């Protein structure tokens, strides 16, 4: 069990501009600083450019290699199609990986932090609808991008219960 959980969260499911940080005894809604957002954007662009450059070279070598090897046109198109599918799937997986890995970068120096008291949550599988109270008593709803088991593990950490308890 970890000592810190970070989840993308916001009041609307379409935005996810904030983070829900859960540590032992504390839940906070973090708004990333502008500088952290710029670093994330820069690294995202660098990853995308590197990904496109590497796959472009691989495509070029496959096409030239197939041409020089005299491979039948049908087989060449099948291999090219397989490479295309791998390109899209790999790009999607890289995006998901970086989206999760960049959360600590955004949370380490937040532009704004708001302590929350979690009141309850409803699970919808891949996201959670969380009710929380702010320090001034306002009740808010957050949509948290988290699978159910991981979210409830974080809640157990917040409450100070062992990971094995249900």
- Total domains in the fold of the chain: 2
Query: Which domain CATH number covers 138?
Result: 2.30.29
In a domain, 71, yes or no: yes
pTM of the entire structure? 0.76
Specify whether 26 is located in the same domain as 71: no
In a domain, 20, yes or no: yes
Q: Comparing C-alpha atoms, which of 110, 151, 115 is closest to residue 130?
A: 151
What residues make up the domain containing 119?
5-32+112-159
3-45 pLDDT per residue, tens: 899 998 988 766 678 999 999 989 999 999 999 989 999 999 9
In a domain, 129, yes or no: yes
Per-residue pLDDT at 122: 92
Residue numbers of the chain with a pLDDT score lower than 70:
1, 13-15, 162-166
Q: Comparing C-alpha atoms, which of 37, 11, 7, 9 is closest to residue 22?
A: 7
In a domain, 166, yes or no: no
In a domain, 164, yes or no: no
In this structure, what are the phi and psi dihedrals at residue 8, rounded to the nearest 5 degrees?
-70, 135
Specify whether 22 is located in the same domain as 40: no
Boundary-marking domain end, from 86, 103, 120: 103
């Amino acid at each position: 069990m970890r000592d810190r959980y970070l989840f993308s969260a916001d009041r609307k499911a379409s935005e996810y501009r904030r983070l829900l940080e859960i540590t032992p005894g504390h839940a906070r809604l973090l708004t990333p600083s502008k500088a952290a957002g710029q670093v994330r954007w820069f690294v995202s662009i660098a990853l995308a450019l590197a990904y496109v450059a590497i796959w472009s070279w691989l495509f070029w070598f496959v096409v030239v290699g197939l041409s020089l090897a005299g491979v039948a046109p049908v087989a060449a198109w099948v291999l090219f199609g397989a490479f295309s599918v791998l390109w899209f799937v790999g790009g999607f997986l890289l995006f998901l990986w970086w989206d999760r890995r960049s959360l600590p970068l955004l949370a380490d120096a937040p532009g704004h932090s708001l302590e929350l008291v979690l009141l309850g949550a409803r699970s919808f599988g891949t996201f959670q609808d969380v009710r929380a109270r702010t320090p001034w008593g306002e009740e808010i709803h957050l949509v948290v991008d988290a699978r159910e088991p991981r979210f409830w593990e974080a809640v157990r950490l917040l409450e100070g219960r062992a990971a094995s308890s249900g």
